[in-house]
């Protein structure tokens, strides 16, 4: 009888042991990741920071891809749909900037983190500006003002790309110093095409978005040398030099011509006088309030200090104005001598 009891007890013990082994195996398999974390190599604070920062960068890259796709589809997009998309990109970028500010930054990364924060802040601000700038471009307002607004937003995005390159470079130096070369940092170019923010490309894009043929906008000013009048008056000429009557100061009146097809406002006109006896040039400047296409207007520059008896070079310069390309006739020179 005692033998049967012992046999049953032994079988029960074996069953219990097998059950414990099975349960332990299941637990160990289910907890494998935790065991690796417990006994494996722990992630350093720098690795954690780079990992979290890279997630934000990859999300920003996603925003960039969507933004560029919207830019390319601008003609086929409904106005409301376009506004909603651009608002979403701006909101997402602002959220990424906020998330970046909440990252836990190890001491070794404090310096480079400031650059990364600048990147996200710049992208968020640029996208905030881009939507109203594009809407202005599509409305019937001065296309050049809209161009400047759009250009600034795109330049800021390009600046963020340059700043990110610097962040990546400095971060990789820290990783190398800490023997963490295996940690990778993603690339990030929001604009992807750097040339799209140039003036010509922005104007081309605006006209394409409006669905209208591009108009040739011409800005061009010229100084007309044959119209010059001096005070004091001209007495004569010696070789290349104009001889003026004696005076402590000179004034000069000369005509400016608008050779473009756009009205120009607040046009700067400057006189620069250089003397053989004075190394520091004398400068006098005035402003032409407005000049219409094809119009010729006189400008007088007064109070130019003279150097009686010495050879002087007087240069008159107009502009340049925004978007002016040819500057070959924007200035003229006169060699003068004021009598003693």
Same domain membership, residue 70 and residue 197? yes
Same domain membership, residue 190 and residue 251? no
pTM over 0.75: no
**Containing domain of residue 258, as a range?**
221-338
> What are the beta bridge partners of residue 290?
265
Q: What is the pLDDT of residue 137?
A: 79
In a domain, 231, yes or no: yes
In a domain, 202, yes or no: yes
Domain count within the chain: 2
Same domain membership, residue 171 and residue 72? yes
Please say if the pLDDT value at position 140 is more than 70.
no
In a domain, 32, yes or no: no
Q: What is the pLDDT of residue 21?
A: 67
Q: What's the rounded Cα separation, in Å, for the pair 119 and 125? A: 10
In a domain, 27, yes or no: no
Same domain membership, residue 176 and residue 201? yes
Q: Among the three residues 165, 181, 210, which one is the final residue of a domain in this structure? A: 210
Q: Among the three residues 171, 189, 210, which one is the final residue of a domain in this structure? A: 210
Q: pLDDT tens-digit profile of 178-226?
A: 899 889 999 999 987 666 777 777 877 877 777 655 456 778 899 999 9
Residue 32's pLDDT band (cuts 50, 70, 90): very low
Segment among 82-86, 180-184, 214-218, 325-329 with least mean pLDDT:
214-218
Q: What is the pLDDT of residue 333?
A: 93
Same domain membership, residue 199 and residue 239? no
User: 55 burial class (0-12, 13-18, 19+ CB within 10 angstroms)?
Assistant: middle
Same domain membership, residue 290 and residue 200? no
Q: Among the three residues 165, 189, 210, which one is the final residue of a domain in this structure? A: 210
How is 283-317 classified by DSSP, letter by letter?
Answer: EEEEEEEEE-TT-EEEEEEEEEEP-TTSEEEEEEE
Overall average pLDDT of the 114-138 stretch: 91
Overall average pLDDT of the 312-322 stretch: 92
In a domain, 124, yes or no: yes
Tell me if residue 88 falls in helix, strand or coil: helix
In a domain, 275, yes or no: yes
Segment among 56-60, 160-164, 325-329 with least mean pLDDT:
325-329
CATH number at residue 299: 2.60.40.10
DSSP H helical ranges for the chain: 2-30, 32-39, 45-72, 79-101, 110-138, 143-177, 199-210
Q: What is the pLDDT of residue 135?
A: 83
In a domain, 216, yes or no: no
b/e per residue 79-105 (b: at least 16 CB within 10 A): eeebeebbeebbebbbebbeebeebeb
């Amino acid at each position: 009888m005692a033998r049967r009891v012992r046999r049953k007890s032994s079988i029960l013990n074996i069953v219990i042991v097998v059950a414990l082994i099975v349960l332990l195996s299941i637990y160990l398999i289910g907890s494998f990741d935790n065991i690796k974390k417990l006994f494996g190599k722990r992630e350093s604070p720098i690795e954690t920071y780079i990992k979290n920062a890279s997630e934000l960068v990859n999300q920003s890259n996603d925003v960039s891809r969507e933004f560029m796709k919207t830019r390319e589809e601008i003609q086929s997009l409904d106005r409301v749909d376009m506004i909603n998309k651009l608002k979403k990109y701006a909101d997402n970028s602002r959220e990424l900037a906020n998330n970046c500010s909440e990252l836990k930054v190890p001491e070794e990364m404090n310096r480079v983190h400031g650059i990364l924060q600048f990147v996200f802040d710049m992208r968020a601000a640029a996208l905030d500006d881009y939507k109203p700038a594009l809407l202005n471009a599509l409305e019937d307002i001065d296309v050049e003002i809209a161009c400047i607004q759009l250009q600034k937003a795109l330049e800021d995005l390009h600046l963020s790309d340059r700043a990110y390159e610097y962040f990546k470079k400095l971060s990789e130096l820290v990783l190398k110093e800490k023997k963490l070369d295996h940690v990778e940092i993603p690339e990030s170019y929001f604009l992807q095409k750097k040339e799209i923010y140039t003036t010509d490309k922005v104007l081309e894009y605006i006209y394409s978005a409006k669905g209208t043929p591009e108009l040739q906008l011409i800005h061009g000013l010229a100084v007309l040398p044959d119209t010059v009048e001096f005070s004091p008056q001209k007495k004569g000429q010696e070789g290349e030099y104009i001889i003026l009557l004696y005076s402590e100061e000179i004034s000069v009146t000369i005509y400016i011509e608008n050779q473009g097809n756009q009205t120009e406002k607040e046009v700067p006109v400057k006189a620069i006088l250089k003397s053989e006896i004075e190394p520091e040039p004398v400068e006098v400047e005035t402003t032409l309030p407005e000049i219409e296409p094809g119009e010729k207007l006189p400008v007088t520059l007064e109070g130019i200090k003279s150097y009686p008896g010495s050879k002087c070079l007087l240069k008159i310069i107009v502009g340049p104005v925004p978007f002016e390309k040819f500057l070959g006739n924007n200035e003229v020179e006169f060699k003068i001598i004021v009598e003693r």
